[in-house]
Amino acid sequence: MFRKVFVLWSILIGFTIFISIQSYTQDAPEVSAKGKEVYEHSCAHCHGIEGRGDGSAAENLLPKPRDFTRGLYKIRSTESGELPTDQDLFDIITDGMPGSSMPGWESQLKADERWEVVSYIKTFYDGFKERETPPREISLEGKIAYSAESAQIGKTLYTDLGCIECHGNVGRGDGTSAPTLTDAWNDRTWPANLAENWNFRGGTDTEDIFKRFIGGIAGSPMPAFEGDSFLHFGLSSEESKRLSEMENKDEMTPEEEEESGKLYEKMDEAVLVALDRAEGTELTPEAQKIYDDAMKVVAEKSWHLANYVKSLSPEKRPETAIGNNSLRSQYTVEELPIIEDEAWNTLEDSYYPLVGQVVIEPRQFNPTIDSVRVKSFYNDTEVAFLFTWHDRTHNIEVEENEDTGTSYEDGIAIQFPVKPPKGPTDEKPYFLWGGKKPVYVWQWKASEQDKITELTVKGVNNVTVQENQGDLNVKGEYKDGEYRLWVKRALTTDDKKDLQLEPGVFVPIAFSAWDGANGDKDIKRVMSSWYSFVLEPVPSSRRFIYPPIVALLSVGFLIGLRGFVQRRNSASDEAETEQ
């Protein structure tokens, strides 16, 4: 009896344990303790303990840390609407997301730890365990190598597909829709500046650009251009070209109506196949062929477009203009070039990265201006500077907007000490708007583009507009997401509060810039610390005089030396023979 009871009990307990384990594992498959530990140590302060992207640091970040509970992942190698592959997640953790606050973790976490984190963050969204088939990956077949022609075709597509709506005419993220974009969490978001690829979140290779374009960027306004989303899906390149011609006419002739009608029918057929595929219907061989043919055209065009986008940026972020890279104003005997002058193209840009001002309240944690670039010429009496910087929006006044907040006026300030330091140990004014030692500032505002106000500043609350204005010639302009500001001034002025310039002397320079649409105003701004520039002296003409003299002297010396030695030798020989 006792034995029977025991057996029965054992079975019951075993069954119970089995059931409970079963139900738990169904709920959270393979929750790895290690992944949870690493996540909570390294990720949770931004992404939140529950993966909602609401860690304590999230408040001041934009782009916001990813909320893992909605299954929306920006950087994927998979088709639109699909979840990312594990490899995608692993790569993002490893490499980080440039232009955001997500760093690469390769140096901090071992590969197996990163994999553990991948499986852990997948538990935040049920879609991962519910998916029955592996995600469809974007095919990278048929890659077209970069060529100027390919980029040119891409450029046409860039306009036809509507990329300019957000990314702007030449890709600086200044499209007319840019100021109002929000993401799936209703957070403000900006279209990528395609001319600054070092801020691309998912990499700068042509393949990366291709994948973002085809698969879209989930949760963001960037649509997916795959399959039937592509313009004229189902037509060959030639047919598509012909149809574009007809579509761009105000009115079609009856013949054209008929011709285009046929093309539309062909497109409709292909679109229905694409929908069947998207819905998971098995395609007949004929349908599959229609789809494959259409996708070949899509891929071809997309590679052209990716090549075009790739061509808009330099290979990498330019070197900062510091040390031997510092800005050197170029001497010219001629009249200094005006803003439109081609002569500016002969100079290289000096690149100054700008970052948010986070020292004094109100702080700017999410800057939108990446950098300012400077070129300069000078002659015997004057110096001219050309400052350029990217800003997605042209704000010339205060504007209230319920969704995006108040926007202010754009501007830039160029800051110098009043007197150049005498040597490296001579104290400079405080980099942020001066202090006990004053700074001399050129302040430019977008609403008055041909004017600069000269300021003397001794700290945030001590800004004086100089009495003597008008020493500067100024021209400013905004076009396609870029400000250009041209300033010309005499090397020396009568005003004691101005900086006086002298060739060969390094002068500290710092920048502040305001993107009004990003809430920049007064001390809330982007800025740089001190750099320095020099009016590069004309290479001394002595370099043609002294070296020949040195040559003659040294030859003379050697001949003389030989003579001397010879004489001494013969003298000592004589002495020896005498002895």
Partner 1 sequence: MKRISLFTICFVIFIACWVFLQFVIGGVISKPIPNSVIGMYMALVLVAILVHVSVEDSRFKEFLRPVYETLVDDRYRVRRLVLVIVIPLLLTGFSYTNLAQKTPPPGDPRDAHPTPPLELKYKDEVIETMQKAQNPYRHYEKDDPETFRSHVENGKKVYYDNCFYCHGDHLDGQGHFAHGLQPLPANFQDPGIIPNFQEAYFFWRISKGGPGLPASGTPWNTAMPVWEDHLTQEEIWDVILFLSDYTGYKYRTFGEGH
Partner 2 sequence: MKIKLLTSLAVLLVFSLGLIVFADDHGKSDEMNKLVFPKSYSAKAVSGGGKISGVVKFEGDLPEKKKLEINKDEAVCGAEDKYDESVVVGEGKELKNTIVYLMDISTGKDFDKKAKLEMDQKGCKFTPHVQIVPVGARLTMLNSDKVNHNVHIFSSINKEVNKPQPKVRKKMPLAAVKKAEGPVEVKCDIHGWMKAWIAYVPHPYFAVTNEKGEFTLEDVPAGTYKLGYWHEACGSNIKEPVTVTVAAGGEVKQDFTLKLKK
* Signed CA dihedral, 197, 198, 201, 206: sign only: positive
CB atoms within 10 A of CB 237: 14
C-alpha–C-alpha distance, residues 579 and 577, integer Å: 5
Cβ proximity to partner 1, 465 vs 550, nearer residue: 550
Binding status of residue 331 toward partner 1 by CB under 8 A: no
Which structure tokens are listed for 559? 């001949």
Phi-psi region of 45 (alpha: psi -120 to 50; beta: other; left: phi over 0): alpha
Residue 316 DSSP label: S
C-alpha–C-alpha distance, residues 177 and 343, integer Å: 35
> Of 349, 557, 521, 523, whose CA–CA distance to 432 is shortest?
523
Binding status of residue 558 toward partner 1 by CB under 8 A: yes
Q: Hey, which bits of 194-258 come out as E strands? A: none
Binding status of residue 59 toward partner 1 by CB under 8 A: yes
Binding status of residue 504 toward partner 1 by CB under 8 A: yes
- Binds partner 2 (CB under 8 A): choice among 31, 57, 170, 231: 231
Judge contact between 443 and 451, C-beta under 8 A.
no
C-alpha–C-alpha distance, residues 452 and 475, integer Å: 9
Q: What is the largest CA-CA distance in the chain?
A: 139
Site for partner 1, residues 431 to 460, rule: CB under 8 A: 431-432, 435, 437
> Site mask, partner 2, residues 243-272, x = CB under 8 A?
-x--x-----------------------xx
Which structure tokens are listed for 70? 């909605």
- Binds partner 2 (CB under 8 A): choice among 10, 60, 152, 180: 180
Residue 143 DSSP label: P
Cβ proximity to partner 1, 275 vs 551, nearer residue: 551
Stretch that binds partner 1, among 24-32, 211-219, 490-498, 540-548 (CB under 8 A): 540-548
Binding status of residue 346 toward partner 2 by CB under 8 A: no
Binding status of residue 546 toward partner 1 by CB under 8 A: yes
Q: Which helix (H) or strand (E) holds 474?
A: strand 472-479
C-alpha–C-alpha distance, residues 352 and 320, integer Å: 6
Query: How deeply is 572 buried, as exposed, middle or buried, from its count of CB atoms within 10 A (0-12, 13-18, 19+)?
Result: exposed
Binding status of residue 69 toward partner 1 by CB under 8 A: no
Site for partner 2, residues 204 to 223, rule: CB under 8 A: 216, 218-219, 221-223
- Binds partner 1 (CB under 8 A): choice among 87, 253, 284, 529: 529
Report the Cα 515 to chain-centroid distance in Å.
16
Which of partner 2, partner 1, none does residue 133 bind to, with CB < 5 to 8 Å depending on kind?
Answer: none
Q: Identify residue 214 by its one-letter amino acid code.
A: I
User: Could you tell me the CA-to-CA distances from 265 to 161, 224, 322 in Å, in that order?
Assistant: 21, 23, 61
- Binds partner 1 (CB under 8 A): choice among 20, 149, 554, 571: 554
- Binds partner 2 (CB under 8 A): choice among 32, 81, 136, 237: 81
Which of partner 2, partner 1, none does residue 206 bind to, with CB < 5 to 8 Å depending on kind?
Answer: none
Binding status of residue 176 toward partner 2 by CB under 8 A: yes
Stretch that binds partner 2, among 12-20, 200-208, 536-544, 552-560 (CB under 8 A): 12-20
Cβ proximity to partner 2, 361 vs 402, nearer residue: 402
Question: What does the angle CA 409 – CA 418 – CA 492 come to, to the nearest 5 degrees?
Answer: 100
Judge contact between 213 and 227, C-beta under 8 A.
no
Binding stretches for partner 2 (CB under 8 A): 1, 5, 8-9, 12-13, 15-16, 19-20, 23-24, 26-27, 69-72, 80-82, 160-162, 165-166, 176-177, 179-182, 184, 216, 218-219, 221-225, 228-229, 231, 244, 247, 271-272, 275, 278-279, 401-403
Residues that bind partner 1 (CB under 8 A): 42, 45-46, 55-57, 59-60, 100-101, 103, 105, 107-108, 320, 322-324, 326, 328, 353-356, 358-360, 365, 421, 423-425, 427-432, 435, 437, 504, 506, 528-532, 534, 536-537, 539-540, 542-543, 546-548, 550-552, 554-555, 558-559, 561-562, 565-566, 569
